[in-house]
Amino acid sequence: MRTVTILGATGSVGTSTLDLVERAPDRFRVRALTANCDVARLAAAAIRTDAEMAVVADEACLPELRAALAGTRTHVAGGPAAVCEAAALGADWTMGAIVGCAGLKPVLAAIEQGGTVVLANKEPLVSAGDIITAAAARCGATLLPADSEHNAIFQCLDAARPDSIRRIVLTASGGPFRDWALGDMAAVTPAQAVAHPNWSMGAKISVDSATMMNKGLELIEAARLFPVPVERIEIVIHRQSVIHSMVDYIDGSMLAQLGPSDMRVPIAHCLAWPERMATPMAPLDLVALGRLDFESPDPVRFRALALSRAAADEGGARPAILNAANEVAVAAFLAGNIGFLEIAAIVDDTLQRYAPAAPETLDAVLHVDAEARRIAGERVKDGVA
């Protein structure tokens, strides 16, 4: 039986992971579950799985959690340090699904225990990729990607023979505005931006898909995860979201991973790896699908792609700045404070205004992140276009 910890258990990825874990109670035992402050969902999940520990990052929510789990054997705690304590319990398998840089220290704490750590949030590899991969190598931890694209690459890629790989092809749905004119995109509303045509995701990730920033961040992640330089990682729009990514080999062979648009598929691959496990997904009906379409993304309409590739090329602190500024800009857009096209503009402005040295420690990464957020926040207030 494999012990499991889920960091970010009440979000989209966390609940999908719980669904799979609860379908196979003979295979998995839950060590710890964490959430920011969704006490109702966290407590319900802890009771259903008989979790050893439940933690809220917001310590103000701890009394409510204690009351909800009174009389159970689940130990409860609150605060950021308690989240790291939960991550360091030494579970065989840890899902890192805490949104934002709040997930960096818990993910590192899990890596330092030497188990299998599954990365579902982008910040560990985008903002602190060198630190995270070095820690995994030092501690003997296994990093697995839960993003559908990176998981597809992982399944198709012959990492033992990097010289045989010609390129990686990341697929993108193109989001809800893939056919819109640039002028029309200026009037996009938050409700329109979160209405993804293929995937069910949280608001922030849905907006990132709409700007295609998510694909830019995935490009940076892929360059950290796989032995392929960033210039040999391509992005294509694939409207059906059935092929999740591809690996092209020097002999002309191209391997692709296909599957339904449901995060339980890549999560299940990580949960059972190196084996396989059943999921409730119906098999793909290729005849009903009928066709697979591909096209190049428009760099003018999707400015975030160029910003991301430049950050990947430059390295150092640039990816962390890109990520932090984007989070601030997306939050401002969702709050109705800036327009849709201003998201990329604020990211670009922040990158131009802030050029620190490459961070060498996690605390240095967090400092870069905080400063980039401050600068981006000022640009939001100034109404940068």
Task: Quickly name the fold that domain 2-145 has.
Answer: Rossmann fold (3.40.50)
Cα–Cα distance measured from residue 43 to residue 71, given in angstroms and rounded to the nearest whole number: 12
Own/partner pairs for 307-314, CB < 8 Å, 24+ apart?
A: 307/216, 307/344, 307/347, 307/348, 307/351, 308/213, 308/215, 308/216, 308/217, 308/219, 308/220, 309/216, 309/219, 309/230, 310/351, 311/216, 311/220, 311/351, 312/219, 312/220, 312/223, 312/230, 313/230, 313/231
Cα–Cα distance measured from residue 107 to residue 127, given in angstroms and rounded to the nearest whole number: 13
Cα–Cα distance measured from residue 30 to residue 47, given in angstroms and rounded to the nearest whole number: 11
DSSP element (H, E) containing 364? helix 362-382
Side chain identity, residue 320: A
Burial of 9 from C-beta contacts in 10 A (0-12 / 13-18 / 19+): buried
Q: How far is CA 295 from the centre of its chain?
A: 24
3-class SS string, 16-64: HHHHHHHHCCCCEEEEEEEECCCHHHHHHHHHHHCCCEEEECCHHHHHH
- Judge whether 307 and 216 are in contact, CB under 8 Å: yes
Neighbours of 253 (CB within 10 A): 10
Q: What is the pLDDT along the chain (385 residues), one digit of tens a residue?
A: 999 999 999 998 999 999 999 999 999 999 999 999 999 999 999 999 999 999 999 999 999 999 999 999 999 999 999 999 999 999 999 999 998 888 999 999 999 999 999 999 888 999 999 999 999 999 999 999 999 999 999 999 998 999 999 999 999 998 889 999 999 999 999 999 988 666 556 788 889 999 999 999 999 999 999 999 999 999 999 999 999 999 999 999 999 999 998 999 999 999 999 999 999 999 999 999 999 999 999 999 999 999 999 999 999 999 999 999 999 999 999 999 999 999 999 999 999 999 999 999 999 999 999 999 999 999 998 765 4
pLDDT of residue 44: 98
H-only helix segments in 143-302 = 148-156, 182-185, 190-193, 203-211, 213-225, 264-272, 286-289
Identify any residues that bridge with 53 across adjacent strands, giving them in sequence order: 32, 75
